[in-house]
Structure 1
Amino acid sequence: MDRTQTLHIDRLRNLTYGLVCFGLIVVLALEGWQLYQSYRQAFFQARQAATNLTRATEAHVRDAIRQADTLLVGVVERSEWEGLERLNSSRMQTFLKRQVGVLPQLHGLFIYDRNGRWLVTDSGQIPANANNADREYFMYHREHDDPGVHIGRVITSRSTGELVIPVSRRINAADGSFAGVALATLKVAYFNDFYAQFRVSKEDAFTLTYYDGTILVRRPFVPDVIGTSIAQGQIFKDLLPLQDAGTALIESSIDGKERMYSFQRFGDFPLVAISGISAEAIRLPWWRQLIVAVVVLILIGLSTAAFARVLLQQISRSELADRELRNAHKALRKFSLEDALTGLANRRRLDDVLPQELGRVRRTRAPLGVIMLDIDYFKLYNDRYGHVAGDAAIQAVAGVLASYARRAEDLPARYGGEEMMLLLPGANEANSLEIAQGVRQAVFDLAREHQGSPLGIVTVSLGVAVAYPHQAENNDVAALIKQADTALYQAKSQGRNQACAYQAPDVTGARRST
């Protein structure tokens, strides 16, 4: 081998090594960027999840207190009308007992006179010499003529020994002077049981506090923590003075564990709801992804180094890399078939599956039911509650739709925006209408607030179309979707919150609806 050829081979070898090193640097940079974005995305999703949990907690607590307060308003009005000295205790006790049986959050209902003596309880049992004049809520109402509701700190019930949250109102005499107190006690265990229903890790935390940081409820439940203050924690010390709601990655002042916290101050009650998702749980999937990425990068580096050392295998190894790239594209395409917000199939997958299902209609001679769903007045919902709440509403409806895809071949999909579809292979019109009605009712039963809707809650309209093997016009994707859309339009024109089936123009009679 002459010097020129040797130099050429050396240059080729150096060029190959240089290209390999450059390629490895690019791969490392891209993988590092992807891991960085994945890390940010994990915490972004955790912020959203924590915010949603806090909003759910705040709404649940507010509803529980409002129900109790509405009851107290009636008790106070009746007590002031009759006068405590002339109050029919037996009739009032019966009324209180019935209300405690209706509202699960209630521990008890009580009426005290101006001196703190027990007059009426829901249980009908009044301990000898029982007096609550030393309670904070009683002293508050005695010293303040505020007619509004008062929420106190957690206390231990003298009747049962349970931890309760006192909710009370002042009772006035005819001349406006202090006559007594009407009290509803809410069970701390009721809220703990509610938090326990969330599918979260054991390190996640939910806390309900007084405006000054005094803990009323906390999950995980630790009895010694109830009644203590977290006013010196970062949320109360640094964040709440600046904003009523927000998120922050901080360490807990209770157990020292780092969490992604979401907090929200109640607008009408002196309370703060806090939800925390464990930072360790947030990072764990990312760490696993990092380990896999490192292993993959090591393998790529070793294989690339071997490729660089064996120049004659360049073509074969290039083909291998190309094949691996195609497989990666296939895997990426597979992951791209799911809608990120709802977890349903996305439009791309729907466009792939629907022609296949129509082909199966022709092969198996079995019908194909298609349900098209649209959330009623969704633009008004977004305008009123914001896009985050709008996304949550779409997720809730998507969850209902997915729950009705009970067979492996059923396919729930997000068609676009607030529109969704459900493919039901083998379902005729009656089957499809029944399922559509079930979805409509299930969404209605969620009772999700929507003040922009005449019904006051989120509802959906659904259109049903069925492709039969003997109807050639139904075996076209565009025609079938148009039929479902026409039926959906009919449901909306009938006032929304309806499910209608498509009928061909030459068929007499009104369209069926439920």
Structure 2
Amino acid sequence: MFKRFSITFWATVFVSVVCLSLVGIDVWRSFHARTEQLQEMERQGANLARAMAQQADDTIKAADIALADIVERIETEGQGAQVLARLQPQMRAQVENLPQLVGLFVYDEHGRWVVNSRGVLSQAYNNADREYFIYHRSHPQRGPHVGLPVISRSTGKWIMPVSRRLDKPDGSFGGVVLATLDIDYFRRFYESFDLGARGAVALLSSDGVLLLRQPFDSTRVGSSMRDSDLFRHYSRLSGPARVGNAFFHSFHDDEVRLNSFRPLEHYPLFVTAALSRDEMLERWRRDTFTRSIGVVVLAAFIGFFGKRLVDQIKLRAQAEAELRVARDALESANRTLERQAMSDGLTGLANRRQFDVTLGNEFSRAMRHQDTLAFIMIDVDYFKQYNDLYGHSAGDEVLRAVSKLIRALTPKRPGDLSARYGGEEIGILLPNTGIEGARAVVERIRAAVENLQMPHSGSPFGLVTLSAGVATISPQRGVHESAMLVEAADKALYAAKSAGRNQVCLA
């Protein structure tokens, strides 16, 4: 059959196939690049939402702790002149120590000032008409209440009220204790994010009221977003499903954005980080256009010079031999680069890329075989202080020493993996391992690092130490995701740090 057609015919077929393949590969690469760009948007948005939720939760919690202390003092000691005289300096000190606080106030059951952090009592202001005052007067619950943003009557600034109810000895309504949070404190934090030219972040109440949006517009503060696609989608979710990503048309400017939303852990609020789809894909479109022009030009050149292929048939054998050599060299170089790309140059451990791949594989394997998968998150205590005191070169030596111990003390089974997760954080993945087994492994590592006796004057222990969080999961299809294991270990690590460091906490 091959002899029935001339070499020119086969050359034409070959050139046509090559041109079509180039176009097809370019289309596939463009689609794949777009998918990766959108995935990167999701990761960025999720990280932004996580940071915003944590900041808002911590900010409100600090104010709520101050409120709870004031409520306990007044309900225990009463509202005598001596009690209030002792309480007022403490309130002022708490405001000075917490930059997010504008002021702390105590109102009686009629909305009149009893005591405040400023030390000035003026009966010109009565807050009985405020939303939070009305709420506590009609609700006997003792928990905190996050009210709608208002303009302070005493300072003229936008504030977010956080309040608790005061009860009289007989349990009746006795007033309100109020902390006013500075809206600008949240704005400054949100302004630190790189959202692009058309990105936005927002803090909303769980009933759809906009508390703050960046870019800031004072006319929208306190407005309802119940009719927005974002809130309708969020309100249909519950539990862990309330954390997610979705594309919506903006309620404010109709821009299509990828919204990453997450509720606060302790308060009825949620945050959203919205990145403009068009803006994020603008570079992809530009690169795709440039590359497509190049492919078209290349295909034209191949077609033009394809006719001359017959004249070069005698040199084909030599060219094929050279191509094989080049291909082998390229494959060898690619294998070398791939090995380098999967390890961390400083510690010699696996890098984040290899960890993500291995976690996905082992999570799927554990799901298929109904096994347990353990993950350990390790963090060097007070590492920033160590770098500040001894220099980054010394900090790198600490990471190398810790990584060397981890390699020596972790199991060497198939699937076990130690990886530099990021900065001074190191993750250890242990398939088919229970939580006690994982704790035994990390306790050996923690004790070994402590026994190295590496001096650290910036640590209360005087030595370089580790904190670690341990989590295990027996994954079930459709219920669990690999990120849940990492998040659980990270929360356990945070608990270990909060409990004093140099210890291991279990999720």
**TM-score of the pair, normalised by structure 1:** 0.67
1:138 equivalent in structure 2: 133
Pick one of 241, 245, 248 that aligns with 2:246. Answer: 248
Pick one of 103, 109, 119 that aligns with 2:98. Answer: 103
Q: Note the C-alpha offset of 1:83.
A: 2.1
1:212 equivalent in structure 2: 207
Cα contact 1:263–1:272 (8 A) shared by 2: yes
Name the CA shift for 1:204/1:155 in 2 (closer, same or farther; >3 Å).
same
- Larger RCO of the pair (alpha carbons < 8 Å, separation 6+): 2
Counterpart of 1:261 in 2: which secondary structure?
strand
- Render the CA deviation track for 1:307-345: whole Å, top value 9, x for unaligned: 212132454787897798689768866874665xxxxxx
- Render the CA deviation track for 1:20-65: whole Å, top value 9, x for unaligned: 1112212222221222122112112211221121111111111111
Q: Matches of 2:325 and 2:387 in 1, distance apart?
A: 36
Runs in 1 of length 4+ with deviation above 3 angstroms? 7-10, 313-339, 369-375, 390-397, 399-407, 412-418, 432-445, 448-455, 494-497
2:272 equivalent in structure 1: 274
Deviation larger for 412-421 or 82-91: 412-421
Q: Note the C-alpha offset of 1:8.
A: 8.2
2:436 equivalent in structure 1: none
Cα contact 1:245–1:264 (8 A) shared by 2: yes
**Structural mapping, 1:114-513, within 5 Å:** 114-243=109-238, 244-311=242-309, 312-313=311-312, 315=315, 336=338, 339=341, 346-347=342-343, 417-420=417-420, 450=490, 452=492, 456-457=496-497
How many residues end up aligned between the 2 structures? 410
Please tell me the residue identity of whatever aligns with 2:174: A
Please tell me the residue identity of whatever aligns with 1:300: L
- Render the CA deviation track for 1:431-487: whole Å, top value 9, x for unaligned: x99799999969879xx985545961399x9xxxxxxxxxxxxxxxxxxxxxxxxxx
Please tell me the residue identity of whatever aligns with 2:419: E
Cα contact 1:450–1:457 (8 A) shared by 2: no
Cα contact 1:371–1:421 (8 A) shared by 2: no
Percent identity among equivalent residues?
A: 26
Please tell me the residue identity of whatever aligns with 1:195: Y
Please tell me the residue identity of whatever aligns with 1:105: Q
Name the CA shift for 1:276/1:293 in 2 (closer, same or farther; >3 Å).
same
Name the CA shift for 1:336/1:284 in 2 (closer, same or farther; >3 Å).
farther
Q: Note the C-alpha offset of 1:143.
A: 1.5
Do residues 48 (structure 1) and 43 (structure 2) align?
yes
Cα contact 1:443–1:458 (8 A) shared by 2: no
Q: In structure 1, list runs of 5 or more residues that go unmatched.
A: 1-6, 340-345, 351-368, 423-431, 462-493, 498-514
Name the CA shift for 1:421/1:104 in 2 (closer, same or farther; >3 Å).
closer
Q: Note the C-alpha offset of 1:204.
A: 1.6
Q: Note the C-alpha offset of 1:169.
A: 0.4
Pick one of 50, 61, 64 that aligns with 2:59. Answer: 64
Cα contact 2:187–2:214 (8 A) shared by 1: yes
Q: Matches of 2:109 and 2:504 in 1, distance apart?
A: 54
Please tell me the residue identity of whatever aligns with 1:185: T
Cα contact 1:205–1:219 (8 A) shared by 2: yes
Please tell me the residue identity of whatever aligns with 1:232: D
1:28 equivalent in structure 2: 23
Counterpart of 1:80 in 2: which secondary structure?
helix
**TM-score of the pair, normalised by structure 2:** 0.68
Counterpart of 2:257 in 1: which secondary structure?
strand
Q: Note the C-alpha offset of 1:212.
A: 1.7
Q: Matches of 2:464 and 2:131 in 1, distance apart?
A: 46
Q: Note the C-alpha offset of 1:94.
A: 0.2
Q: Matches of 1:451 and 1:63 in 2, distance apart?
A: 14
Q: Note the C-alpha offset of 1:167.
A: 0.3
Name the CA shift for 1:325/1:443 in 2 (closer, same or farther; >3 Å).
farther
Instruction: Please identify the structure whose Cα radius of gyration is greater.
Output: 1
Pick one of 73, 77, 89 that aligns with 2:72. Answer: 77
Counterpart of 1:457 in 2: which secondary structure?
helix
Name the CA shift for 1:195/1:189 in 2 (closer, same or farther; >3 Å).
same
Q: Matches of 1:335 and 1:46 in 2, distance apart?
A: 26
Pick one of 93, 97, 113 that aligns with 2:108. Answer: 113
Counterpart of 1:255 in 2: which secondary structure?
coil
Counterpart of 1:88 in 2: which secondary structure?
helix
Please tell me the residue identity of whatever aligns with 1:259: R
Q: Note the C-alpha offset of 1:141.
A: 0.9
2:11 equivalent in structure 1: 16
Q: Matches of 2:268 and 2:27 in 1, distance apart?
A: 46
Name the CA shift for 1:252/1:455 in 2 (closer, same or farther; >3 Å).
closer
Name the CA shift for 1:159/1:287 in 2 (closer, same or farther; >3 Å).
same
Name the CA shift for 1:454/1:253 in 2 (closer, same or farther; >3 Å).
closer
Counterpart of 1:59 in 2: which secondary structure?
helix
Name the CA shift for 1:417/1:223 in 2 (closer, same or farther; >3 Å).
farther
Name the CA shift for 1:335/1:406 in 2 (closer, same or farther; >3 Å).
farther
Q: Note the C-alpha offset of 1:420.
A: 3.7
Please tell me the residue identity of whatever aligns with 2:496: G
Name the CA shift for 1:32/1:284 in 2 (closer, same or farther; >3 Å).
same
Q: Matches of 2:227 and 2:99 in 1, distance apart?
A: 34
**What root-mean-square deviation, in Å, do the aligned CA atoms of Structure 1 and Structure 2 show?**
4.6
Please tell me the residue identity of whatever aligns with 2:275: I
Counterpart of 1:124 in 2: which secondary structure?
coil
Q: Matches of 1:184 and 1:234 in 2, distance apart?
A: 32
Name the CA shift for 1:452/1:151 in 2 (closer, same or farther; >3 Å).
closer
Q: Note the C-alpha offset of 1:268.
A: 3.2
- Render the CA deviation track for 1:388-409: whole Å, top value 9, x for unaligned: xx99979999x989998769x9
Q: Matches of 2:387 and 2:329 in 1, distance apart?
A: 30
Counterpart of 1:84 in 2: which secondary structure?
coil
- Render the CA deviation track for 1:176-204: whole Å, top value 9, x for unaligned: 11111100011111111111222331322
